[in-house]
Amino acid sequence: MGSDAVAIQCKADSVGSDWVLNGEKAWVTNAAGADLFAVWAQTDAAAGSRGIAGFLVEREAEGLTVTDPYKLMGGHAMGTAGILLRDCRVPADGLISPPGEGFQVAMQGITAARIFVGAQCCGILKAGLERAIGYVSRRKAFGRPVGSFQGLQWELVNVATEREAARLLVYRAAAAADRGLSATVEAAQAKKFATAAAVSGLVTCMQAMGAHGFLIDSTLGRHLATAKMAEYLDGTSEIQNVVVARSLFGGALD
Ligand SMILES: Cc1cc2nc3c(=O)[nH]c(=O)nc-3n(C[C@H](O)[C@H](O)[C@H](O)COP(=O)(O)OP(=O)(O)OC[C@H]3O[C@@H](n4cnc5c(N)ncnc54)[C@H](O)[C@@H]3O)c2cc1C
């Protein structure tokens, strides 16, 4: 599964009171260390999203294999890997979301995850800004701290302003979710904005720090890789656009 979440290829067949899962899921966060997997699989391809069901599968279940973790540019601690399911038998009580409900449950989970990713990017950007401001306040050129040059200050002011805007979008989405409202569009807007603000803002912070920002020890490269990763997680920025466009246009273009 990638951007087209309904097109899940992993199959679940009902056998007696059990289910048998077959398929493959690439890109599973925490797969390297997880003891338990939430797996969404298609029970009836003709039913589309209504055929999708959710299962809990133990790591030790026969037929489940975790691949080696991917070698990534960042996010190493996430232990992201793939899982293979070959005639993996799941008992009836492993069904956590029956067909007809599974897809909706998955989408609710993804809305919460998008808010979390937006918040993560605000935190990353805060760390980048603090580091850059500390550095430019100490580093001197032309007889004064480089942070005293207005051109450089304004670059960092723009980053700080984008970060505040991202935080407010994230808070708005989180507040809607907390109140039990649908936060689908708010979460998409928050994630789209916060991830882009983090990627571009961290590049600005690196530039403000001169070559020093390019050192591994400056940590900005690691933050930048994580922010870039966030532009894929839980739906790419383009897919957030699809979600927002749907709410803007409604059925007007059908
Ligand atoms: C570190 C990491 C951890 C991850 N963990 C998980 C996880 O735990 N669970 C999980 O399910 N996934 C996970 N993912 C996968 C992530 O959700 C996918 O990468 C993402 O949904 C995009 O799918 P894809 O990479 O297959 O890109 P594709 O779907 O192949 O898309 C390729 C490009 O086409 C664009 N595109 C696709 N459709 C449209 C459209 N309609 N309009 C405009 N552009 C479009 C995309 O935005 C993208 O730029 C993880 C990814 C990473 C990097």
Q: Return mean pLDDT, the chain.
A: 96
CA distance 236 to 188: 10
Q: What is the pTM of this model?
A: 0.95
pLDDT digits (tens, 9 = 90+) for 215-226: 999 999 999 999
In a shared domain, residues 150 and 43 = no
pLDDT digits (tens, 9 = 90+) for 134-158: 999 999 999 999 999 999 999 999 9
In a shared domain, residues 94 and 112 = no
Residue 11 phi, psi (nearest 5): -110, 145
Q: Which residues, judged by CB distance below 6 Å to any ligand atom, belong to the binding site of ligand 1?
A: 1-3, 27-29, 72, 75, 78, 80, 229, 232-236, 238-239, 242
Residue 254 lies in a domain: no
What is the number of the ligand 1 atom nearest to the C-alpha of 31? Answer: 8
In a shared domain, residues 110 and 226 = yes
In a shared domain, residues 154 and 239 = yes
Q: Identify the helix (H) or strand (E) that includes residue 199.
A: helix 184-208
Residue 203 lies in a domain: yes
Cα Rg of the chain (Å, integer) = 22
Domain span including residue 110: 103-249
In a shared domain, residues 88 and 148 = no
In a shared domain, residues 170 and 141 = yes
pLDDT digits (tens, 9 = 90+) for 191-217: 999 999 999 999 999 999 999 999 999
For ligand 1, atom 19, the nearest C-alpha belongs to 232
Distances (CA, A) of 188 to 126, 168, 181, 204, 233: 21, 13, 14, 24, 12
Cβ(189)–Cβ(117) below 8 Å: no
For residue 22, the model assigns a pLDDT of: 98
CA distance 43 to 90: 13
In a shared domain, residues 114 and 185 = yes
In a shared domain, residues 123 and 237 = yes
pLDDT digits (tens, 9 = 90+) for 75-134: 989 999 999 999 999 999 999 999 999 999 999 999 999 999 999 999 999 999 999 999
What is the whole-number distance in angstroms between the Cα of residue 1 and the centre of ligand 1?
8
What is the whole-number distance in angstroms between the Cα of residue 91 and the centre of ligand 1?
30
Per the structure, the count of domains in the chain is: 2
In a shared domain, residues 117 and 234 = yes
In a shared domain, residues 83 and 116 = no
**For the chain, what percent of residues have pLDDT higher than 90?**
96
What is the domain-level CATH number for residue 179? 1.20.140.10
N-term to C-term CA, the chain: 25
CA distance 158 to 129: 11
For ligand 1, atom 25, the nearest C-alpha belongs to 2
Closest alpha carbon to 37 in 74, 63, 71: 63
Residue 95 lies in a domain: yes
Q: What is the average pLDDT across 46-71?
A: 96
- At 1, is the pLDDT very low, low, confident or very high (cuts 50, 70, 90)? low
What is the whole-number distance in angstroms between the Cα of residue 106 and the centre of ligand 1?
15
**DSSP, res 49:** G
What is the whole-number distance in angstroms between the Cα of residue 237 and the centre of ligand 1?
9
CA distance 254 to 250: 9
Cβ(81)–Cβ(66) below 8 Å: yes
Q: What is the average pLDDT across 24-43?
A: 96
